[in-house]
Amino acid sequence: MAFSEFRPLDEKVLIEYIKATPSLASKLGNKFDNLTIKEVGDGNLNFVFIVVGSSGSFVIKQALPYIRLIGESWPMTKERAYFEALALKEHGSLSPDHVPEVYHFDRTMSLIGMHYLEPPHIILRKGLIAGVEYPLLADHMSDYIAKTLFFTSLLYHNTTDHKKAVAEFCGNVELCRLTEQVVFSDPYKVSQYNRWTSPYLDSDAEAVRGDNALKLEVAELKSLFCERAQALVHGDLHTSSVMVTHDSTQVIDPEFAFYGPMGFDIGAFLGNLILAFYAQDGHANDQNDRKAYKAWILRTIENTWNLFDRKFLALWDANKDSGDAYLPAIYNNPELVQLVQKKFIKDLLHDSLGFGAAKMIRRIVGVAHVEDFESIADASKRAGCERRALELAKLLLKERKKFQDINEVISAILQHQ
């Protein structure tokens, strides 16, 4: 450990730290003469430094003991860096092609040193706003999701290992509590942090707060989120937690990781793709009506789910002797195996739709909005896009258990344009 107590990084401190840390210094070939250091964090949660030398590079991420939201500072444990590093390592070992490698972790400094995702990697959300198609996105994300969820669930774990891991990640409760507040609570009540495109959506936000049927279903989802330790989920898998190029898909920032319901990750990703879909009309112009791009987003939603379904079940079939959930001596005939798998996948679709919808709603009437909509300058046009997304989300959340497959979800999206 380079320092004996926590110090917020600046460029000078960082260089001193790197020189004193062999696992980082060696990545630069122990040459420190021509280092380029750039701080690229948004300053809301973490410092993020890109360090590039003549013989190598890495990223340094340091958690700060607060987060900033709309100008206000909330205290937030920097121990989240510990859980982020744990999750990066665990998910990285399961899906190495889609998770940046961790070179170094320092709990005292809340500091992670990891692989630098070089240009042209950009945040997926920015690509979606720009209208860029990523032909491998569904394949890559379904791969990441299937592997990280399958191998950290009781389909692969025995219950001894599972409970041990669950207990460890119970320590990340502060981050879970933030999710509970901003996803499952604030949008459904009057909160100083809520905002929306006013005055256009004033009555829509009020309708959310007054929708008993919606709140009844949100309670069930919150209970799943708080109580069901199904798998090690990323916990914040929206489209700004994914960096992409044409060929590469990398999942970053799992500081919200914990043992929770699988549908929370799937829903976060699909829900944010649906938000991207509804934002396209706001980005359309005379040069590009975005119709083809909207169709690509829908195909990506459909493919992500269907590929996930196929890959997840393939992992299940290939590992049917592992895990304590479905013992082969009990689930011992093809008809029964098909029954349990079909039920598992359908339940998971319903959970995913519920969580995805909750994530959509909170991005429209809650504290943290998405650039997909925020970048639509015309407030009236933006509100129109948001309202259509909100209506679809309310439908998905309330009626999620009626959907039989992803095609029915796509149809519902098309009907709510």
Of 58 and 264, CB closest to its own copies: 264
Of 221 and 297, CB closest to its own copies: 221
Looking at 27, 121, 162, 359, which residue binds its own copies (CB under 8 A)? 162
Looking at 302, 324, 391, 399, which residue binds its own copies (CB under 8 A)? 324
Q: How is residue 185 annotated by DSSP?
A: I
Q: How far apart are CA 38 and CA 155, in angstroms?
A: 43
Name the burial class of residue 50, with classes exposed (0-12), middle (13-18) and buried (19+) by CB atoms within 10 angstroms of its CB.
middle
Dihedrals phi, psi of 106, to nearest 5 degrees:
-130, 110
Does residue 326 belong to the site contacting its own copies (CB under 8 A)? yes
Does residue 299 belong to the site contacting its own copies (CB under 8 A)? no
Does residue 206 belong to the site contacting its own copies (CB under 8 A)? no
DSSP 3-state of 179: helix
Stretch that binds its own copies, among 43-51, 65-73, 214-222, 273-281 (CB under 8 A): 214-222
Does residue 192 belong to the site contacting its own copies (CB under 8 A)? no
Q: Which amino acid is at 392?
A: L
Residue 195 tokens read as 């905002």
CA dihedral 165, 357, 143, 349 (to 10 degrees): 90
Of 17 and 156, CB closest to its own copies: 156
Looking at 93, 336, 402, 408, which residue binds its own copies (CB under 8 A)? 336
Does residue 226 belong to the site contacting its own copies (CB under 8 A)? yes
Give the shortest CB-96-to-its own copies separation in angstroms: 27
Give the shortest CB-338-to-its own copies separation in angstroms: 10
Cα angle 44, 237, 78; round to 5: 40
Does residue 160 belong to the site contacting its own copies (CB under 8 A)? yes
Cα dist from 117 to 64, 86, 250, 292, 403, whole Å: 22, 19, 8, 29, 38
Does residue 314 belong to the site contacting its own copies (CB under 8 A)? no
Of 191 and 248, CB closest to its own copies: 191
Q: How far apart are CA 87 and CA 70, in angstroms?
A: 28
Residue 159 tokens read as 């219950």
Does residue 331 belong to the site contacting its own copies (CB under 8 A)? yes
Stretch that binds its own copies, among 65-73, 102-110, 129-137, 182-190 (CB under 8 A): 182-190
Give the shortest CB-180-to-its own copies separation in angstroms: 6
Count residues near its own copies (CB under 8 A).
47
Name the burial class of residue 154, with classes exposed (0-12), middle (13-18) and buried (19+) by CB atoms within 10 angstroms of its CB.
middle
Helices marked H in 33-79 — which ranges? none
Interface with its own copies (CB under 8 A):
154, 159-160, 162-164, 166-168, 170-171, 173-174, 176-177, 180, 185, 188-190, 212, 215-216, 218-220, 222-223, 226-230, 324-327, 329-333, 335-336, 339-340, 343
